[in-house]
């Protein structure tokens, strides 16, 4: 019998190192973990569960079609996290406005932001999806937060993580002191620590980008991918491999495991829609940047560090270039060269 460290034990032991800790943070992470177990269960049942697959017939604030599991996962995240007195308010990719707690629940000191089911276009085809979350501190003295209270740069995140619903369910977490990885033991129903201090290899020969957008990219990205495709004979002097899952959680997880560069860059297709990129700053880019940087990688828009950006609105979109440090720095340098 293997007696591993559970996620709860891990967080409590870390919290003991801070004399001022009240246990609220442990309580919050416990509720997030419970929500992720419930979502994992729904995702795993797939077509066996009644009325779970397929489209909900609604669109989210981003104008994207919502899957039934998107809507259910959003409800689970809200239901699990609203009652415990740990959060003051929440923001979800699936909600138009921030979510203020019903009157009867006590207010806590954290703001919780999440993408309840990222990569949901993959659900019906049984490919990995995930839940991404970011935790901020609620500004001092604020009882009923407004959207403005959420507009803090990524550098102020207290914690960030994701649950990946793949062949196994994993939780990857950072509280600003490295990245740790937990695997759900389905027999016991607990996340068990399976890797401490995950680090991303600095060098890579693997890139992930939606190649169908090639004609819309800016010159620096065209140049970089062209150089990757030239392989050993080109200026990078090595052959590259390509992956594209269309599920950011799965791409970041692969990069944490074996390195790589992931890009959803600025392109003229999204610019024509008046957007600055495809991925969302607060629900995807900031939490993933925090994890990637804590694992020794880098994350930029191509022009600036993502976590330094001052958010303008909660549903803001940004270009994303993240992963193995050497390649991210190369792409960023190409943007700076113009």
The residues that touch ligand AFP, with contacts defined as CB under 6 A, are 64, 118-121, 210, 246-248, 264, 279
Q: Provide the minimum distance between the beta carbon of 188 and ligand AFP in the complex, in angstroms, as a whole number.
A: 30
Question: In angstroms, rounded to a whole number, what is the distance separating the alpha carbons of residues 23 and 105?
Answer: 18
Q: Provide the minimum distance between the beta carbon of 319 and ligand AFP in the complex, in angstroms, as a whole number.
A: 12
Question: In angstroms, rounded to a whole number, what is the distance separating the alpha carbons of residues 179 and 158?
Answer: 13
Q: Provide the minimum distance between the beta carbon of 225 and ligand AFP in the complex, in angstroms, as a whole number.
A: 15
Helix (H) / strand (E) containing 81:
helix 68-81
Residue written as token pair 């996620």: 7
Calculate the dihedral angle through the C-alpha atoms of 282, 94, 272, 329, rounding to the nearest 10 degrees: 30
> Which residue blocks in 211-280 are alpha helix, DSSP H?
219-230, 248-258, 268-272
Q: Provide the minimum distance between the beta carbon of 252 and ligand AFP in the complex, in angstroms, as a whole number.
A: 9
Q: Provide the minimum distance between the beta carbon of 208 and ligand AFP in the complex, in angstroms, as a whole number.
A: 8
Based on CB atoms, which residue is closest to ligand AFP, 247 or 324? 247
Based on CB atoms, which residue is closest to ligand AFP, 64 or 185? 64
Residue number of the CB closest to ligand AFP reads 248
Question: In angstroms, rounded to a whole number, what is the distance separating the alpha carbons of residues 187 and 296?
Answer: 33
Question: In angstroms, rounded to a whole number, what is the distance separating the alpha carbons of residues 17 and 311?
Answer: 32
Question: In angstroms, rounded to a whole number, what is the distance separating the alpha carbons of residues 335 and 338?
Answer: 5
Q: Provide the minimum distance between the beta carbon of 93 and ligand AFP in the complex, in angstroms, as a whole number.
A: 8
Residue written as token pair 């033991």: 185
Residue 154: Cβ-neighbour burial (10 angstroms; 0-12, 13-18, 19+): buried
Based on CB atoms, which residue is closest to ligand AFP, 28 or 318? 318
Based on CB atoms, which residue is closest to ligand AFP, 12 or 52? 52
Structure tokens at 201: 């290899």
Based on CB atoms, which residue is closest to ligand AFP, 7 or 285? 285
Based on CB atoms, which residue is closest to ligand AFP, 11 or 209? 209
Q: Provide the minimum distance between the beta carbon of 233 and ligand AFP in the complex, in angstroms, as a whole number.
A: 29
Helix (H) / strand (E) containing 182:
strand 179-185
Based on CB atoms, which residue is closest to ligand AFP, 34 or 210? 210
Q: With left for phi above 0 and alpha for psi between -120 and 50, is residue 22 left, alpha or beta? A: alpha
């Amino acid at each position: 019998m293997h007696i591993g460290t559970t996620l709860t034990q891990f967080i409590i032991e870390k919290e003991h190192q801070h004399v001022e800790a009240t246990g609220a943070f442990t309580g919050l992470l416990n509720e997030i973990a419970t929500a992720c177990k419930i979502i994992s269960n729904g995702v795993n049942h797939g077509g066996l569960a009644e009325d779970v697959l397929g489209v909900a017939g609604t669109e989210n604030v981003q104008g994207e079609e919502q899957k039934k599991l998107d809507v259910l996962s959003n409800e689970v995240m809200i239901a699990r996290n609203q009652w415990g007195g740990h959060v003051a308010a929440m923001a979800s990719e699936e909600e138009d406005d921030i979510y203020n707690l019903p009157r009867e629940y006590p207010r806590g000191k954290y703001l919780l932001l999440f993408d309840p089911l990222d990569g949901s276009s993959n659900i019906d085809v049984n490919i990995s999806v995930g839940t991404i979350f970011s935790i901020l501190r609620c500004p001092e003295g604020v009882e009923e937060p407004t959207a403005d209270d959420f507009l803090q740069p990524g550098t102020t995140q207290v914690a960030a993580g994701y649950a990946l619903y793949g062949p196994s369910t994993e939780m990857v977490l950072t509280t600003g002191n490295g990245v740790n990885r937990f695997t759900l033991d389905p027999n016991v129903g607990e996340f068990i620590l399976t890797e401490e201090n995950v680090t991303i290899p600095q060098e890579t020969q693997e890139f992930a980008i939606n190649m169908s957008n090639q004609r819309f990219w800016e010159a620096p990205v065209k140049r970089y991918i062209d150089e990757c495709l030239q392989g050993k004979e080109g200026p990078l002097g090595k052959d590259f491999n390509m992956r594209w899952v269309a599920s950011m959680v799965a791409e970041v997880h692969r990069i944490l495991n074996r390195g790589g560069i992931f890009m959803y860059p600025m392109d003229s297709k999204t610019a024509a829609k008046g957007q600055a990129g495809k991925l969302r700053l607060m629900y995807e880019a900031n939490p993933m940047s925090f994890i990637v940087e804590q694992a020794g990688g880098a994350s930029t828009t191509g022009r600036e560090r993502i976590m330094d950006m001052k958010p303008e609105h909660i549903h803001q979109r940004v270009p994303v270039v993240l992963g193995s440090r050497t390649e991210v720095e190369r792409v960023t340098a190409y943007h700076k060269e113009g």
